């Protein structure tokens, strides 16, 4: 294991982490939708488009891009051929846990989130009913998607199939199929390529539902795997695998609080210990960022970077 150093942005407290994370997500959104300029935006596509949006449970939704009839490129053959324009979508993988409050605080007050161009997948899910407070989808739906102001559009959300929560293997296979449908049009289907995967990191070092020293960490083939015996929280889960996480355009960790400081110290200073985050720091080298508050960096020796906002954060 080499000592690959990710970008580490640090902030004095939770509120500034939330604002910076929201800004970072919007930069990734703009890059995915509009290309090389993170700042360029086309608000005309932000609302009222012809695309279906859906925040209800449906793992059978299929489109990763939406083909619409566009202006013909050559008027001479306009009657024969209509050029198909591919409307780009922002594909994001979300975790649960403390990240959800960060998204709630940071994203809901921004007016440059193009919600109806988002395809939302889950980095992991606990196999409990959606109404449970332990459900990542259920919690994100209640805390974020249900609170998007009227008229701002709705993302297309891809939760697990709730009817499969008693069968982790079946549920994982089913979610993998959901990813195949969602990414097949865009990628070579060897692996899905998310525009952004957002991860937390628990005090025991687990990320998504990848726990330290579990065989799931070594999965090289499947995109999604079952977890039968998670040592904390709900035992049964599904999770994206390390190769899928590391294949994303950007992988971003969001961590706050002093209880996380010891694990962050190990991740940053002892990558040889092979904690899941250290594996990702290495496997997605150059594309990994950490947004961390000062408490979580207590006694951690790393080089911190200053985050540059797309737009200025609100004045306090």
In whole angstroms, the minimum distance from the beta carbon of 120 to ligand LXAUTJHC comes to 13
- Residues 10, 12, 15: CA angle, nearest 5 degrees: 100
Is residue 124 near ligand LXAUTJHC by the rule CB under 6 A? yes
Applying CB under 6 A, among 72, 233, 243, 262 the residue interacting with ligand LXAUTJHC is 233
Is residue 225 near ligand LXAUTJHC by the rule CB under 6 A? no
Is residue 21 near ligand LXAUTJHC by the rule CB under 6 A? no
Applying CB under 6 A, among 92, 99, 225, 263 the residue interacting with ligand LXAUTJHC is 99
For 121, the 3-state DSSP assignment is: strand
Is residue 141 near ligand LXAUTJHC by the rule CB under 6 A? no
- Between 114 and 172, name the residue whose CB sits nearer to ligand LXAUTJHC: 172
Is residue 17 near ligand LXAUTJHC by the rule CB under 6 A? no
In whole angstroms, the minimum distance from the beta carbon of 132 to ligand LXAUTJHC comes to 12
**Residues 31 and 195 sit within 8 Å (Cβ to Cβ):** yes
Q: What is the 3-state secondary structure (H, E, C) of 216-266?
A: HHHCCCCCEEEECCCCCCCCCEEEECHHHHHCCCCEEEEECCHHHHHHHHH
- Between 31 and 126, name the residue whose CB sits nearer to ligand LXAUTJHC: 126
Local structure of residue 20 (DSSP, 8 states): H
Is residue 266 near ligand LXAUTJHC by the rule CB under 6 A? no
Is residue 214 near ligand LXAUTJHC by the rule CB under 6 A? no
Is residue 216 near ligand LXAUTJHC by the rule CB under 6 A? no
In whole angstroms, the minimum distance from the beta carbon of 251 to ligand LXAUTJHC comes to 13
Which tokens hold the place of 86? 């591919």
Closest of 266, 254, 271, 283 to residue 10, by C-alpha: 254
Is residue 97 near ligand LXAUTJHC by the rule CB under 6 A? yes
Applying CB under 6 A, among 89, 126, 141, 250 the residue interacting with ligand LXAUTJHC is 126
- Backbone CA torsion sign across 186, 191, 193, 196: positive
In whole angstroms, the minimum distance from the beta carbon of 310 to ligand LXAUTJHC comes to 24
Other C-beta atoms closer than 10 Å to the C-beta of 258 total 13
Helices assigned H by DSSP within 35-113:
99-107
Which tokens hold the place of 108? 């809901």
Strand boundaries in the chain, DSSP class E: 7-11, 66-69, 84-87, 90-94, 118-122, 124-126, 156-157, 196-199, 224-227, 237-240, 251-255, 288-293
Stretch that binds ligand LXAUTJHC, among 38-46, 91-99, 138-146, 155-163 (CB under 6 A): 91-99
Residues 170-199 that bind ligand LXAUTJHC (CB under 6 A): 199
- Between 137 and 183, name the residue whose CB sits nearer to ligand LXAUTJHC: 137
Which residues, listed in sequence order, are joined to residue 119 by a DSSP beta bridge?
Answer: 91, 156
Is residue 209 near ligand LXAUTJHC by the rule CB under 6 A? yes
Closest of 292, 205, 248, 285 to residue 4, by C-alpha: 285
In whole angstroms, the minimum distance from the beta carbon of 288 to ligand LXAUTJHC comes to 15
Is residue 236 near ligand LXAUTJHC by the rule CB under 6 A? no
User: E strand or H helix at 33, and its extent?
Assistant: helix 14-34
Residues 6+ apart with CB under 8 A from 23: 106, 110, 307, 309, 310, 311, 313
Binding residues (CB under 6 A) for ligand LXAUTJHC: these are 95-99, 124, 126, 136, 199-200, 202, 206, 208-209, 233
């Amino acid at each position: 294991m080499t000592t690959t150093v990710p970008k580490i942005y640090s902030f004095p407290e939770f509120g500034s982490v939330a604002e910076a994370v929201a800004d970072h997500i919007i930069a990734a959104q703009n890059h995915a939708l509009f290309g090389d300029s993170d700042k360029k935006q086309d608000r005309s596509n932000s609302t009222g488009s012809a695309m279906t949006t859906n925040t209800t449970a449906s793992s059978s939704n299929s489109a990763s891009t939406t083909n619409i009839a566009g202006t013909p490129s050559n008027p001479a053959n306009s009657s024969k051929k209509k050029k198909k324009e591919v409307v780009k979508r922002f594909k994001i993988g979300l975790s649960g846990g403390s990240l959800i409050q960060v998204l709630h605080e940071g994203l809901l007050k921004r007016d440059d989130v193009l919600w109806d161009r988002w395809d939302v997948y889950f980095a992991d899910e606990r196999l409990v009913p959606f109404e449970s407070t332990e459900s990542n989808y259920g919690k994100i739906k209640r805390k974020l998607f249900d609170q998007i102001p009227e008229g701002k559009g709705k993302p297309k959300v891809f939760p697990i199939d709730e009817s499969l929560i008693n069968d982790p293997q079946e549920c994982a296979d089913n979610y993998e199929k959901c990813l195949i449908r969602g990414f097949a049009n865009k990628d070579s289907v060897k692996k899905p390529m998310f525009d952004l995967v957002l991860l937390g990191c628990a005090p025991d070092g687990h990320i998504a539902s990848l726990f330290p020293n579990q065989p799931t960490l070594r999965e090289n083939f499947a995109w999604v795997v079952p977890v039968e015996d998670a040592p904390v929280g709900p035992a049964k889960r599904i999770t994206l695998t390390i190769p899928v996480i590391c294949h994303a355009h950007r992988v971003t960790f969001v961590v706050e609080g002093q209880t996380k400081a010891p694990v962050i110290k190990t991740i940053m200073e002892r990558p040889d210990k092979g904690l899941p985050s250290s594996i990702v720091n290495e496997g997605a080298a150059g594309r990994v960022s950490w947004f961390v508050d000062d408490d979580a960096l207590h006694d951690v020796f790393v080089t911190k970077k200053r985050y540059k906002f797309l737009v200025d954060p609100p004045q306090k």
